[in-house]
Every structure is written in C-alpha cells, then in structure tokens.
Structure 1
Amino acid sequence: MEPNNHENDGGECDWKPRVRMMFDTEQEAYDFYNTYGGRLGFSSRRGYVNKSKEGQITSRQFVCNKEGFRVVDKRDPLIKNPRQEVRTGCQARLVIKWDRNMQKFFVIDFVEQHNHIFVPTKCTHMLPSQRKISASQATEIDLAEKSGIRLNATFELMGNKVGGRESLGFTKLDQNNYLKTKRQNSLAYGEADNEEQITNIFWADAQMIMDYGQFGDVVTFDTTYKLNSAHRPFASFVGFNHHRETVIFGAALMYDETADSFDAAMAKAIPIVMPNTTHRLCTWHLMQNALRHANSIFKDKAVKDKGMKSILSKFMYDIEDEEEFTLKWKEMLDKYEVRDNHWLKLTFGVKEKWGWPYVRNAWGAGMSSTQSFDAFLKDFI
C-alpha cells in the first residue's frame, strides 16, 4: 500500500479510507477496510467482484456485514427457533478499481454512514471479520488434537487461560473450521515430506473373502452411491448368498478419481483381469442416463410411446434376436430422426453390455441393477 496515502491530509485520520487511496493488492485493500471496521465496531465482508478474461480483478466492493437483507426461505415458517435477523440493509461500502497504468487498486467510492449502532470496543474482537486464530493458538490446537484431547475440552482450556472464552478472539466454530481446512489441505497437498498421502483405500475382511469364494459367481459393482461434493466415488462389490441376502465382497474409497473416469478404467480392466466374465451395465443407471441425455428428443415425437423410457425398455427386455435388435434400432433412429444423436451412438456401441439378445444367456442371479444394495446401504452410511 502507498505509505503517503496514510498521512494526515486535510485533517483526515490515517486509518480512515478516502477516495483515490491506492493499494497494491485486493487483499491489502480488504485488510485496511477490515481494520477500519474493527476500530469503529462493525464487521466487513467482500461484495461483488468484476474480473477480466485473464482472471485479473478489475473492481471489487467491500461492504458492512449488515448490508442487504436475508433471503426469504419457504421453509422459514417450519423453523421452531429461527435465527435472529442481523442484516439491516446498511449502505456503507468501499469500492476499489484496478488502474492498468499504475498497476494498483484505487478507491473510487467510499460511503461512511451506517444505519445501525456499532459494537462496543470491548466486543469488536468477536465480530465475524475480526475473529482469527493466532499462530500460537493454532500450534496449541494442533498439539491438543495430536494428544487426543477433544475439541470441546481444548476450547474450554484455552478460554480458561485467557480469563474466559469471550477473550479468545475466536469461537468454537472457528476452531472446528481451522482443523477441517487443515485436514483438507493435507489431503490436497500431502503431509510432511516424510509422510505419504493416502489417495485410494480398498478393504475386504476375512468374511468378505470367504463370501466371495462361495458366492462370487455374480458381482455388482457401483461407484455412484453417496458421491461427495468433489465427485469422489465410494465403490462397493456386492452379491447374493444362497438365501438371496445381500453380501459385500469388498469396498473402495477413491480420492484421485472421479466416478466417470474410474468407471471407464474398470470397463477396460475387467476383460484383462477377469477374461471369462460377462460385463453388464446396470439397467437403472442406463435408463437414468437415457432420460437425462435423450428423453427431450423423443418427448414431442413419441407421445404414444411415452418417451425414451418406453422405447429403451423394449431393447433391454423384449427383443431376443440380435438381428432383430439391430434392425429395430435402425428403425427407431429413422422414425424419430435421431441418427446423429451422440449419446445414442455411444449406447449402441456397448449394446453387448445391456441389450437383451446379448446378456440373456449369461446367468445374473436375477440382478440387473444395483439399486437394491443402494437402499441397503442407507442404514449404514
């Protein structure tokens, strides 16, 4: 930040924002406005941002935490103890803009007035934007976690050391978020140099191995159940025993694969690892993909057939002859004028894995979908 801009100018205090004040970075501008808010007694947050095609921030607005109003949620009337409304539509703000020539950000708008009272000085350290965990506090939290001390106990102990939790400068939620972020960073970038990062986990206990030896004639494999926000798959290997009860042969959790890429790799690996195995696709998932990728092109043209679901079902369960299958498929493409549909081309290319003439002779223990096990999993995951 430009040091000359913080000198007294016409009676202005050096910690108060002014139009034309310059900063080297967006973060520097936010820190200055946040410090200013801490001195007055309000919490700040980032507002709108504009960026160039290259990703460079061209303008940014910083606002009071009480800016705007909470969005109305249709579920609000059902909440027994609704959260207190904290926003007041405050118009206080600081707006910065990037100057290409100067290679700096400068203040183009500053609204000083707030429409609410400020927090007392003794309480400002607990404002959302002012709360922070210091380096020494972070070290103490890390040591407590490694020693097996519970998070609640750690928070209480640290609070007692400084005369009360309200004097810590952070909340229990901040502590939990700190540890959560640290774990996520550890998974993303690895731990210390002398430690290896776990990327994929596969497990099968003794009972699973015995069950596979006895009942492994038919195995269902699914990577779609309970995908997390990063689309990392949990994979399950499942079958039936002689009482037609669900048995698990193994499971895997994958951190460095997406479901789509892993399923593609499995399709290539199965003929190599299990050459005498017939690989079939789950009919339920195939139908869901059909409804997602192709149903719209049949909606207006196949009213009598009730769309893609009815059309695809015939090829899954009714047609027994391979030549008839191919002939009926071509007739379907011509009838609905969908010869160039990319998804239909790909699906026909793997017809040996789902078409009834190709899969009906391979024993499948009556299983054509993984959905029954997905329902079974809900009791445990």
Structure 2
Amino acid sequence: MEPMDRDDSTSPDYKPMNGMEFDSEELAYEFYNMYGRRVEFSIRRHIHYKNKHSGKLISRIFVCSKEGLRTIDKRDHLTKNPRAETRTSCDAKMIIKLDKSSGRYRVVQFEETHSHDLVIQECAHMLPSQRNVTSSQGAEMELAQDSGIPPKLSFELMGREVGGREALGFTKQDQKNYLQSQRQKKLAYGEAGCLLKYFQKQALENPSFFYAVQLDSDEQITNIFWADARMILDYGLFGDVVSFDTTYRTNEANRPFGVFVGFNHHRETVIFGATLMYDETSDSFTWSFETFLEAMSNKALKSIFTDQDAAMAKACANVMPNTYHLLCTWHIMQNAIKKASSIFKGDDRVTTFLSKCMNNYEEEDEFLLVWEAMLTEYGAHDNPWLTSIFRLKEKWAKPYVKWAWTAGMHSTQLSESFNARLKPYVKSDYDVRGSIFQAL
C-alpha cells in the first residue's frame, strides 16, 4: 500500500531525514513520535545494540507499532477472549546510529511507507505512543483514590472536566497502569519495610524461619514468600497434596495473597507457606513455586490443586514437572453452569454429566466415547468452553487422575475455607504485617 499522504507531512521541520542528528536516543524517540502524531501512526522502540564494554547505546531502530506479526503462543487455546491481530508487517521505520566522532546519534535510514491505513487526525492523540498521563492528572487520580472514589468514577469526572473522555489523552487502562505503578512504589517504602523488619525479627528468634523477596529491575520489591518453622515441619509430614489459591486480595494495592494449604492426619487444615504477589503472571507464579520448594528443602509435591489460571498452569509445568497438576472440580462446575448450561438446557444436566466424567468412567476409551456422544447429542462440537475444558481433561477426568495421590482432596476448598477465616482479620485498609500474621 502506498503511504497515506498528508498535506504537511513533507515539511522539513519535523519529517526525519538521513543525516539528521540528535543529542540522545530519547530525543530521537520524541522526534519520531512527534512525526508519528502528525502523520497519524503509533511508534515503538525495536532492536538496539550496545557497546559490550561501556554499555553505551550504539544503535536503535524505531518502528511503526504495526511492524512484524504476533508470534504463535502455545497457550492460545486457554485464552478466553483472544486479542485481535493488529500487526501488518509494516516496514516504516527510522534507524539511528552513534557517531563516535561527535558523540551524537545520526539517522542512517528512514522508511516512510506504511502497509496499512493511518488513523484520522481527530484520533491521533489516542494512539499508544501518544497517550500520556500528565503530572497534574496523576495527582488528581491519586487524590480521588485516597478519597475513596472508584477509578471508574474518577475517570468519568476527569473526562467531564475537559469536555469529554476522548480529550483526556489517556484510556482507562492507562489510568489503571498509572495507579498500579504508584501502589508499587508505596508498598516498596511502606508495608514492605514493615514486613521485612518483621521477617528479620522472626529469623533472629527462630533460625528455621524462612523468607525471600524478589526485586525488579529498579530494585523495587515485587513478590514476597515466607514460612515459619511450624509450616516447614507440617509440610515434611503432610505435604504430599497441596491446594494453592490466590483469589484473596489483602490491601488497597489489590495484591494477590497466595497460600499453600493441606491437611494433617486429623484432616485439620494446615498451612505450608504464604506469598504476597505483585501480580498473577507466569513469572510471579514461577518464582513463588521455586521459592516454596527451596524453603521445603526441595521436597517435591505429589499433587497440587489449583484453579484454571493459564499462567499458574505454565508455572506448575515448568517448576514441578513430575507433580500431578489437578484442577479444582468445584470451579469447573461453576464455570460449566455459566458457560454451558444453556446448551444442556439446565444447570443440573451439565453438572450431572461432568460429575459422571469426574467419578464414574474408569477407562479412557469409555470417557472419550461418552464425551463424543454428548457433543453430538447437544450439537456442541463448536462450544469454546467445552473444547477448552476437554483439552485439560488430564487434570480432572477420572481415567487420567485416578493414578494421582490426592488423599481424598478434589478441589481448592481448603483454600476457600482459609480465605473465609482471613476475612475478620484482613481488610483493604489494614496493616498487612499485623493482619496477615494474626490470621496465620
């Protein structure tokens, strides 16, 4: 496709040209981004190279945000609402290289042609690289949050102040990201400091107390794990089967609180460890699982029960490849009622059928035959939820899980029960250190 013409896009004042120089990479980015604003496309940073010894940036490629194509993710079948494809292999770009003699960055290549239609001028300010939360807007967001105003209402109010949400220059997701980054900073200097001080005190009183923290690239605390001597001892005795759940949120930052739970020889609930996580990404789960095993002298689990979180499943497979990863049957039933009851024409029918698949059919051939018959009877071969849950059959259907040692556990109900116990102690405006450890 030929580049979209703009009457003023050929102006030498802002159009990139070979030989143009900049004092820094950041200034080059700002210039190309300004050009993108006027021509109506979004930009992003791409490949760069640095000097191996000094670490100084040697070259950088700035590209159109539609450059390349999205890579295939093996977990796509687990995605409930897949994102639309937005990349078109666009070749538009600007390449800069460091001129050693002058110490400045020079434009060595500029490609103007785009392989897609450009946006209209009225929408250019909402392109990803153009959106920005100003310092005054950020202050207003934080003030609204501290006053108890929900982010949705705060966003609507700020939109009315400037004559409409489209004039804000940022989206609801940008607002969410900004507030999340601010919460991260507050935790780093507030609650996290209290927690670390508490951990250090516990470790001095009992050397068996274990705790670990994970830092990000800016040396800010992200994930925290701990287990006291009693938890470690209980795991050594009863840690073959564990339930792990992160549905509880502990503080105003809405950070997930994960607990490793099991039961003892009296079938009483016992806790093996706890983790306060920054988010529910695969990296955070991987760190939490690895740290949990480290605290338990790397004694592997026989079975672990979780919900249907794809990031958690990936972490389980990477960290505990020899552990049976089982799905909570209660969660499956609840999702079936929401996603498939209309096909079965009733909640009782779908739960009855899944219950039989979970408990009645011993052999794989029998299970597969019954499943196929169900799809044919209800015309449900194309139902996305049934397709996705069938792909996970090795984690819940009896022919596959009958060999797993579960000690009679079938769900994450232990975790749910523990969450109920937490409620009287942990509220969003409570001190995390005091409330969590009082509950534990």
Q: Which residue of 2 aligns with 1:14?
A: 13
Q: Name the CA shift for 1:126/1:254 in 2 (closer, same or farther; >3 Å).
A: closer
Matched, 1:151 2:173: no
8 Å CA contact retained: 1:44, 1:62: yes
Deviation at 1:47, TM superposition (A): 1.4
Deviation at 1:92, TM superposition (A): 0.8
**Which amino acid is the alignment partner of residue 240 of structure 1?**
N
8 Å CA contact retained: 2:262, 2:414: no
Considering only CA atoms, is the larger Rg found in Structure 1 or Structure 2? 1
Residues 84-106 of structure 1: per-residue CA shift (max 9 Å, x gap):
44323221100111233322221
Q: Which residue of 2 aligns with 1:220?
A: 235
Matched, 1:253 2:275: yes
Deviation at 1:266, TM superposition (A): 7.6
**Counterparts of 2:124 and 2:95, CA distance in 1:** 23
Q: Name the CA shift for 1:370/1:121 in 2 (closer, same or farther; >3 Å).
A: farther
TM-score of the pair, normalised by structure 2:
0.48
Residues 18-43 of structure 1: per-residue CA shift (max 9 Å, x gap):
11222222222111111110111111
Deviation at 1:50, TM superposition (A): 2.0
**Which amino acid is the alignment partner of residue 235 of structure 2?**
T
8 Å CA contact retained: 1:200, 1:253: no
Deviation at 1:376, TM superposition (A): 5.0
8 Å CA contact retained: 2:243, 2:414: no
TM-score of the pair, normalised by structure 1:
0.55
Q: Aligned with 2:60: secondary structure?
A: strand
8 Å CA contact retained: 1:94, 1:109: yes
Q: Which residue of 2 aligns with 1:140?
A: 140
Q: Name the CA shift for 1:112/1:374 in 2 (closer, same or farther; >3 Å).
A: same
8 Å CA contact retained: 1:97, 1:107: yes
Q: Relative CO higher for 1 or 2, CA cutoff 8 Å, sep ≥ 6?
A: 2
**Counterparts of 1:374 and 1:77, CA distance in 2:** 23
Tell me, which stretches of 5 or more residues in structure 1 are unaligned? Answer: 1-10, 203-214, 268-279, 294-367
Q: Which residue of 2 aligns with 1:176?
A: 176
**Counterparts of 1:115 and 1:167, CA distance in 2:** 28
Matched, 1:28 2:42: no
8 Å CA contact retained: 2:244, 2:261: no
8 Å CA contact retained: 2:93, 2:112: yes
Q: Which residue of 1 aligns with 2:106?
A: 106
**Counterparts of 2:196 and 2:65, CA distance in 1:** 39
8 Å CA contact retained: 1:96, 1:108: yes
8 Å CA contact retained: 1:61, 1:96: yes
Deviation at 1:198, TM superposition (A): 3.7
Tell me, which stretches of 5 or more residues in structure 2 are unaligned? Answer: 1-9, 200-229, 247-255, 279-286, 304-316, 323-404, 420-440
Tell me how many residue pairs correspond in the alignment: 261
**Counterparts of 2:105 and 2:196, CA distance in 1:** 41
- Aligned positions of 1:352-363 closer than 5 A: none
Deviation at 1:177, TM superposition (A): 0.7
Matched, 1:161 2:185: no
Q: Which residue of 2 aligns with 1:116?
A: 116
- Aligned positions of 1:296-315 closer than 5 A: none
8 Å CA contact retained: 1:282, 1:370: no
Cα RMSD of the aligned pairs, angstroms, is 4.6
8 Å CA contact retained: 1:220, 1:237: no
Deviation at 1:200, TM superposition (A): 7.6
Residues 165-188 of structure 1: per-residue CA shift (max 9 Å, x gap):
111110000000111122223334
Q: Which residue of 2 aligns with 1:3?
A: none
**Which amino acid is the alignment partner of residue 155 of structure 1?**
F
Deviation at 1:17, TM superposition (A): 1.2
Q: Name the CA shift for 1:147/1:103 in 2 (closer, same or farther; >3 Å).
A: same
